[in-house]
Amino acid sequence: MLRPRGVESMPRGQDDAGSGEADAAPELLDRYMRWLTVRDVRGTDLIEVRFTTPSPTLSAILTAAHTQAYLEANEEARLGTDATARHFLDRQLRESEAQLERARRRSVASRPRTPTSPSIRSKRSSARRSRSSRVC
């Protein structure tokens, strides 16, 4: 977990695992959101997270917690997108391989079959020999 410089551990009663979701009073959420500022840093892929509370230590802890939550959510979203893309591409590959196999079968089935009986082969051979003897 990210920790602000100078803060060695979380305040008493808090841990890295979190306590799950809890209902909060709307007025507390309003105050919390007034203290929080998140903005894009122009010209970069960065964001700026800022907390302004009466306590600098609390501000640092909350900023680190928001940054950690953002990084985790971003990683989960990326992994979800990667898995979705992988499933899509696997399905596309299977479908393409099946289409290719069907096309090969149609190609083989549609080739004209030329009978190659011994009498036809011998006529072709003798015709070739007679042409080559005239050329000489």
Q: Are 77 and 62 in contact (CB under 8 A)?
A: no
Q: Are 8 and 2 in contact (CB under 8 A)?
A: no
Residue 16 has pLDDT above 50, yes or no: no
Return the pLDDT at 41: 92
Number of CB atoms found within 10 A of residue 65's CB = 19
pLDDT digits (tens, 9 = 90+) for 69-119: 888 888 888 888 888 888 899 999 999 999 999 999 888 888 777 666 555
Of 73, 51, 47, the closest CA to residue 60 belongs to 51
The mean per-residue pLDDT over the stretch 116-132 comes to 59
Give the whole-angstrom CA distance, residue 56 versus residue 50: 11
Residue 65 has pLDDT above 50, yes or no: yes
Regarding predicted confidence, which is higher, 40 or 122?
40
Provide the residue type at 63 as one letter: T
Q: 53, exposed or middle or buried, with CB in 10 Å at 0-12, 13-18, 19+?
A: middle
Give the whole-angstrom CA distance, residue 54 versus residue 3: 19
Q: pTM (2 decimals)? A: 0.46
- Find tokens 């680190």 and name the residue: 64
Task: Kindly list the domain boundaries of the chain, sorted by start residue.
Answer: 26-107
Give the whole-angstrom CA distance, residue 114 versus residue 118: 13
